[in-house]
């Protein structure tokens, strides 16, 4: 039985790594059709609040369902790593949708295709399985000393900073949308002066920090998958800002990594 479980786990980690270049290549040519890039031809639409709740919720329920079966579930490193994962998904699948709903009703506008939500749901089921089994069952914690704890502390520090930037930037964008009566404006201030998408920058930093803390190939694969997903979209957002706002969008402002990308 353990052999079957470990074979399924290894195959799932491979799928995660294959997903990265495939996603980056696909998104290079096709802009993910939700939000401001939403368009006909992708089937039925959902309200973003319901969509984000449904598609991100596996990060919570798959994780909690698998947790009791991990032999290392009570190891302190496993506990902090899984807690950080759950914290992120509580924000993304509960707090963020509530903010969309509260956003003066603007979050209720249906601009998220069911097909996109279904793909994200599938990815989140796979990823929650891989990350939970990795952290609670397959990573070896035996004999780890203060160096491992220093790595975990540094990783969690970066995770916390990234999450703070991500949540603050999401909140600023929703405020901007409310102020613009459901339309769009050029965001200003803080990290927005350097990049078009500080929420994506923060999210990438979060998962880099989490991968350092978790110390597993699976977690590193998820960080790469996040970049493969968000970096092409950040480039699409930046292009959209330039087309829509012309010179009002500062040309020196990059997409997602200050001064670089
Ligand atoms: N880990 C991953 O792979 C992954 C993948 C996707 C998203 N996420 C995270 O999920 C969150 C939401 O993602 P997203 O792609 O929806 O982010 P987004 O495109 O930045 O949009 C966030 C919200 O702000 C609004 N908005 C953005 N820019 C605006 C502007 N200039 N003026 C007025 N309103 C503006 C958007 O409206 P519209 O909807 O009308 O554009 C949307 O309601 C982010 O924190 C992101 O990091 C993570």
Mean pLDDT of the chain: 94
Task: Note the pLDDT of residue 104.
Answer: 61
Atom of ligand 1 nearest to the CA of 169: 45
Contact 185, 179 (CB under 8 A): yes
Distance (angstroms) between ligand 1 centre and the Cα of 170 equals 7
Task: Note the pLDDT of residue 106.
Answer: 47
Is the distance from the beta carbon of residue 166 to the nearest atom of ligand 1 less than 6 Å? yes
Q: Which phi and psi (to 5°) does residue 46 adopt?
A: -115, 160
Angle at Cα 233 formed by Cα 32 and Cα 82, nearest 5°?
95
Is the distance from the beta carbon of residue 170 to the nearest atom of ligand 1 less than 6 Å? yes
Is the distance from the beta carbon of residue 226 to the nearest atom of ligand 1 less than 6 Å? yes
Q: Model confidence at 105, in pLDDT bands (50, 70, 90)?
A: low
Distance (angstroms) between ligand 1 centre and the Cα of 102 equals 16
Q: What percent of the chain has pLDDT over 90?
A: 87
Contact 37, 31 (CB under 8 A): yes
Question: b/e per residue, 101-125, with b = 16+ CB within 10 A?
Answer: bebeebbebebbbbebbeebbebbb
Name which of 250, 243, 196, 206 is nearest 226 in CA terms: 206
Q: Which residue has its alpha carbon closest to ligand 1 atom 1? A: 226
3-state secondary structure 100-164: HHHCCCHHHCCCEEHHHHHHHHHHHHHHHHHHHHHHHHHCCCCCCCHHHHHHHHHHHHHHHHHHH
What gap in Å lies between CA 39 and CA 171, rounded to an integer?
25
Is the distance from the beta carbon of residue 123 to the nearest atom of ligand 1 less than 6 Å? no
**Contacts of 249-253 spanning 24+ positions with Cβ under 8 A:** 249/186, 249/196, 250/193, 253/192, 253/193, 253/194, 253/195, 253/196
> Which of 173, 180, 234, 239 for mutating ligand 1's site (highest number of atoms within 8 Å of CB)?
173
Atom of ligand 1 nearest to the CA of 174: 24
Q: Model confidence at 107, in pLDDT bands (50, 70, 90)?
A: very low
Angle at Cα 18 formed by Cα 55 and Cα 51, nearest 5°?
10
The pTM of this model reads 0.95
Task: Note the pLDDT of residue 43.
Answer: 86
Distance (angstroms) between ligand 1 centre and the Cα of 101 equals 14
Name which of 230, 158, 174, 236 is nearest 201 in CA terms: 230
Name which of 120, 117, 111, 130 is nearest 47 in CA terms: 111
Is the distance from the beta carbon of residue 23 to the nearest atom of ligand 1 less than 6 Å? no
Is the distance from the beta carbon of residue 127 to the nearest atom of ligand 1 less than 6 Å? no
Is the distance from the beta carbon of residue 206 to the nearest atom of ligand 1 less than 6 Å? no
Digit-coded pLDDT (tens) for 7-49: 999 999 999 999 888 999 999 899 999 999 988 888 899 999 9
Q: Model confidence at 101, in pLDDT bands (50, 70, 90)?
A: very high
Cβ partners under 8 Å of residue 71, min gap 6: 136, 137
Asked if the model's pLDDT at residue 129 lies above 50, the reply is yes
> Which of 184, 219, 233 for mutating ligand 1's site (highest number of atoms within 8 Å of CB)?
184
Digit-coded pLDDT (tens) for 65-85: 999 999 999 999 999 999 999
Q: Which residue has its alpha carbon closest to ligand 1 atom 46? A: 200
Three-class SS state of 62: helix
3-state secondary structure 207-259: HHHHHHHHCCHHHHHHHHHHHHHHHHHHHHHHHHHHHHHHHHCCCCCECCCCC
Contact 99, 174 (CB under 8 A): yes
Distance (angstroms) between ligand 1 centre and the Cα of 104 equals 16
Digit-coded pLDDT (tens) for 161-197: 999 999 999 999 999 999 999 999 999 999 999 999 9
Atom of ligand 1 nearest to the CA of 176: 33
């Amino acid at each position: 039985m353990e052999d079957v479980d470990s074979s399924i786990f290894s195959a799932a980690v491979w799928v995660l790594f294959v997903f990265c270049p495939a996603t980056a290549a696909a998104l290079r040519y096709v802009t993910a059709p939700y939000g401001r890039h939403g368009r006909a031809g992708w089937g039925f639409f959902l309200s973003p609040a319901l969509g984000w709740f449904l598609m991100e919720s596996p990060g919570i329920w798959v994780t909690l369902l698998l947790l009791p079966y991990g032999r290392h579930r009570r190891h302190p490193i496993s506990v902090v790593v899984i807690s950080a994962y759950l914290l992120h998904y509580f924000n993304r699948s509960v707090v963020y949708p509530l903010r969309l709903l509260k956003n003066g009703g603007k979050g209720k506008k249906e601009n998220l295709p069911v097909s996109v939500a279904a793909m994200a749901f599938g990815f989140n089921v796979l990823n929650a399985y891989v990350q939970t089994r990795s952290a609670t069952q397959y990573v070896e914690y035996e004999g780890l000393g203060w160096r491992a704890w220093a790595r975990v502390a540094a990783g969690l520090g970066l995770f916390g900073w990234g999450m703070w930037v991500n949540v603050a930037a999401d909140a600023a964008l929703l405020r901007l949308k409310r102020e613009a009566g459901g339309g769009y404006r050029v965001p200003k201030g803080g990290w927005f002066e350097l990049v078009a998408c500080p929420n994506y920058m923060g999210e990438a930093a979060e998962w880099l920090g989490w991968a350092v803390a978790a110390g597993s190939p699976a977690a590193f694969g998820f960080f790469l998958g996040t970049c493969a997903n968000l970096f092409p979209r950040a480039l699409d957002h930046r292009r959209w800002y330039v087309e829509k706002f012309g010179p009002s969008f500062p040309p020196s402002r990059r997409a997602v990594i200050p001064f670089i990308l």
